[in-house]
Amino acid sequence: MTNCLTALFGGTFDPIHYGHLLPAVALAKEVKLSHISLLPNHIPPHKPQPEASTHQRIEMLKLAIEDKPILSIDLREIVQARLDRPSYTIETLQAWRQENGTQQGLAFILGQDSLLSLPTWNNWQTLLKYCHLLICRRPGYAKTTNDTQLKAWINQHQTHDIHDLHQNASGFIYFANTPLEDISATEIRDRISQQQSCESLLPPKVWQYIQAEHLYGA
């Protein structure tokens, strides 16, 4: 039995936007999470290198969470980074367990698009040994998959009952009923490079920071 359930929300956050923040805050309420740590990666495993520097991505995270006490930032993938190597989630989870032991509840938050890409992740079928997976809805991405291996794995581990998440330290997949936010960092970077406003897509202080730093062609 775990006494509190905490979550890591991994991402490139180039930049952080309401598509991350609004589902995360709603998820914390729905699942009764005690805390969510945003986990910026160093080198994204499956993406080009971010346009903003690591320092700038972290500064934007700090500005974005200022008024959200349920959120904090976990810099372990940045601090423990080896310069030439991507941040693999399985290694991060193993490091977290070494630090916090096996009894404490831990969840890893993913958007629906990331869930569908899971079979390409390093050692993906072992992830549930270390955490639960909480899946946020994302416009344009179906809940179902044609990947038979992924489908079977989801069926085997899925729960609809949040008590399973609280009574076990790891091992379950939960599809949350989080709000649909049709926002992506790619769209934000594209819009800014075309001198279009993104004011409604991210927190005002992040928007001001992007302009002050002339990020993404602003």
Ligand X SMILES: O=C(O)c1ccc[n+]([C@@H]2O[C@H](COP(=O)([O-])O)[C@@H](O)[C@H]2O)c1
Q: Does 183 bind ligand ATP (CB under 6 A)?
A: yes
36 forms beta bridges with 7, 71
Full strand arrangement of the beta sheet holding 132-136: 71-73, 35-40, 5-11, 105-111, 132-136, 173-175
Which of ligand ATP, ligand X, none interacts with 179 (beta carbon under 5 to 8 A by kind)?
none
Q: Does 15 bind ligand X (CB under 6 A)?
A: no
Which of ligand ATP, ligand X, none interacts with 45 (beta carbon under 5 to 8 A by kind)?
ligand X
How many residues sit close enough to ligand X to count as binding (CB under 6 A)?
A: 16
Residue reference for tokens 């599809």: 175
The residue at minimum Cβ distance from ligand X is 10
Which of ligand ATP, ligand X, none interacts with 181 (beta carbon under 5 to 8 A by kind)?
ligand ATP
Q: What are phi and psi for residue 118, nearest 5 degrees?
A: -55, -40
- Amino acid residing at 32: K
**CB 153, CB 127: distance < 8 Å:** no
**Binding stretches for ligand ATP (CB under 6 A):** 11-14, 19-20, 23, 110-111, 113-114, 136, 138, 181, 183-186
